[in-house]
């Protein structure tokens, strides 16, 4: 049960960090440092790497889909 709780805290920290990044168009890394610190404390480093790669892939896909929709 404790592992499930830790996992939930990690996911909440990830979501909070990503919401912060999404809400700030300029220099989000500096302004979201507190959320990044919480993420680093709540999640294993390997998970954080995975989350960031996943986010990057999703952003690229979203941009590609948006570009395809505007070119039709």
Show Cβ contacts of residue 70 under 8 Å, excluding neighbours closer than 6 positions. Answer: none
pLDDT by position in tens, the chain (length 72): 479 999 999 999 999 999 999 998 888 888 999 999 999 999 999 999 999 999 999 989 988 887 665 555
pTM of the predicted model as reported, rounded to 2 decimal places: 0.81
CA 18, 59, 24, 34 torsion-angle sign: positive
Distance CA 64, CA 68 (A): 6
**For the purposes of burial, counting CB atoms within 10 Å of the CB of 28, is it exposed (0-12), middle (13-18) or buried (19 or more)?**
middle
Contact between 21 and 58 (Cβ < 8 Å): no
């Amino acid at each position: 049960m404790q592992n499930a709780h830790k996992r939930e805290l990690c996911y909440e920290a990830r979501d909070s960090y990503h919401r912060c990044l999404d809400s700030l168009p300029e220099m989000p890394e500096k302004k979201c440092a507190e959320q990044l610190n919480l993420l680093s404390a709540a999640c294993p480093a390997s998970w954080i790497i995975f989350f960031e790669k996943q986010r990057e892939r999703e952003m690229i896909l979203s941009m590609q889909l948006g570009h395809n929709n505007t070119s039709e």
